[in-house]
Amino acid sequence: MTYKPNKPAFTLVELLVTITIIAILASMSLVALSSSRTQAKIFRTRSTIMKIDTAIGEIYEQYDERSIGEYDLAGDPANKATPLGYVKESGISATEKSRRLQQMLLMAKRDLIRKEMPQNWAEVDSANDIKLENVYGKNVPVRTYYYNAMSGKVDSADGKYKNESAELLYLIIANLNPEALSNFASGEIGDTDGDGLPEFIDGWGNPIKFLRWAPGLYDSEIQPVVYNLDGTLKTIDEIDELRVKNADPIDVSNSGVPLSDTDRVTDDATTWIPDKGFVRGWFLYPLIVSCGPDGEDGLYNYAWESGDIPMSITSANPFMIKDTKDSKPLMVGSPLSDAYKDNIHNHKQR
């Protein structure tokens, strides 16, 4: 009889080591797969935001050439408390009249942009006009389009609009640059809250948000950053230097006028008055932002998803400060938490 030696068997220790190695490799594969999926979502989101940015940019750049005249100002010429009356006040010199007119024309153009590129329902609802400090006095037909599209579509639970900035972003492009919609795939547009108003969707299935102006943004590569790393505002001299280098193309009269001590931001609601706040500001560009993987934007916005009427933030002056955090001033777009760090937006190229 031929002798057959026994085959060597795995010891218990060897088996446990093998299982451990397999588990580690499997875990590494899952991590790599998860990372790959996250990167794919980030890439998809950036691609969608780039398309939106192109469409919005084509709209926004047209305002540099839009003509605004004294006849466009709102108010009663006999009432100096209104923009038109402020310009036409009797007894002022020709030089002062010219200065006031240029300031009001700047505010009127910003007001026109606000009305044609709204970021919340409060700016669309004409019933709020008296509270929104109108400077541009002519009819803006596109507001009727927005109003008819959004009217009645409030959330039944709290009477406020969900995803209003995202839905208005879609409506702005659909009305002012409709040809651009053909650039988006079906998966880039959805209706996450089921109210019949489309939104552009990021890689995580969340609506992409919109801020017409975000002067408080910390990580912009497009517009000046006027905050220090500790959250305090830069000095007036430093802001002046940034303003001269980054002139506001909408302010065709004189973007380089230095800011005086009285030009500091205030809590006064009458923001169109020249000595209240940064009336002459710096170059701003619309913010298109995805909350990223964590689903939170972490940015300050007085009325991002609320039905409140922010008396200054939705007015024609984007440079007002209404709130503070830890005694530090907040402009729209300022970070409220570290959640902003994974945001994906059009102000960052990477």
- Confidence check: pLDDT of 95 > 50: yes
Instruction: Average the pLDDT over each of 53-67, 139-153, 154-168 and give the range with the smallest value.
Output: 154-168
Segment 218-240 mean pLDDT: 85
Question: Percentage of the chain surpassing pLDDT 70?
Answer: 77
Residues ≥6 apart with Cβ < 8 Å to 195: 153, 162, 167
Of the listed ranges 17-26, 189-198, 288-297, 309-318, the least confidently predicted one is 309-318
Say how far apart CA 273 and CA 82 lie, in whole Å.
Answer: 9
* CA atoms of 51 and 329, how far apart (whole Å): 33
pLDDT band at 80 (very low <50, low <70, confident <90, very high): confident
- The answer to whether residues 197 and 149 touch, using CB atoms and an 8 Å cutoff, is yes
Q: Between residues 162 and 2, which one has the greater pLDDT?
A: 162
Instruction: Report DSSP state, residue 212.
Output: S
Position 280 scores a pLDDT of: 65
Q: Which two tokens stand for residue 15?
A: 């088996």
At residue 88, what is the residue type? K
pLDDT of residue 8 exceeding 90, the answer is no
The pLDDT assigned to 286 comes to 96
What pLDDT was estimated at residue 265?
40
In the predicted structure, residue 276 carries a pLDDT above the cut 60:
no
Rounded Cα distance, 336 and 325, in Å? 8
Q: Which value, in Å, is the radius of gyration of the alpha carbons in the chain? A: 26
Does position 311 have pLDDT exceeding 70, yes or no? no
Of 24-38, 100-114, 226-240, 278-292, least confident by mean pLDDT is 24-38
Q: How many angstroms from the chain centroid is the CA of residue 288?
A: 6
Over residues 300-310, the pLDDT tens digits come to 886 433 444 44
Question: What is the per-residue pLDDT for 273?
Answer: 37
Question: Is pLDDT above 80 for 27?
Answer: no
Cβ–Cβ under 8 Å, residues 105 and 69: yes
Q: How far apart are CA 321 and CA 233, in angstroms?
A: 11
| Contacts of range 73-81, beta carbons closer than 8 Å, 24 or more positions apart | 73/104, 73/105, 73/108, 73/135, 73/136, 73/137, 74/108, 74/134, 74/135, 74/136, 74/137, 75/137
Q: Both tokens of residue 110?
A: 């910003």
Residue 2 to residue 25: CA distance in whole angstroms: 43
> By mean pLDDT, which of 19-28, 153-162, 176-185, 240-249 is the weakest?
153-162
Instruction: Check if the beta carbon of residue 304 is closer than 8 Å to that of residue 332.
Output: no
pLDDT band at 318 (very low <50, low <70, confident <90, very high): confident
Domain boundaries, the chain: 13-345
Residue of 323 and 176 predicted with greater confidence? 176
Gap between the Cα atoms of 224 and 215, Å rounded? 8
CA distance 165 to 187: 19
| Residue-level pLDDT at 250 | 82
54-68, 214-228, 316-330: which has the minimum mean pLDDT? Answer: 316-330
**How would residue 287 be classed by pLDDT, with cut points 50, 70 and 90?**
very high
CA distance 260 to 262: 5
β-pair partners for 210: 288
The band of 174, judged by pLDDT with boundaries at 50, 70 and 90, is: very high
155: its two tokens:
């959330």
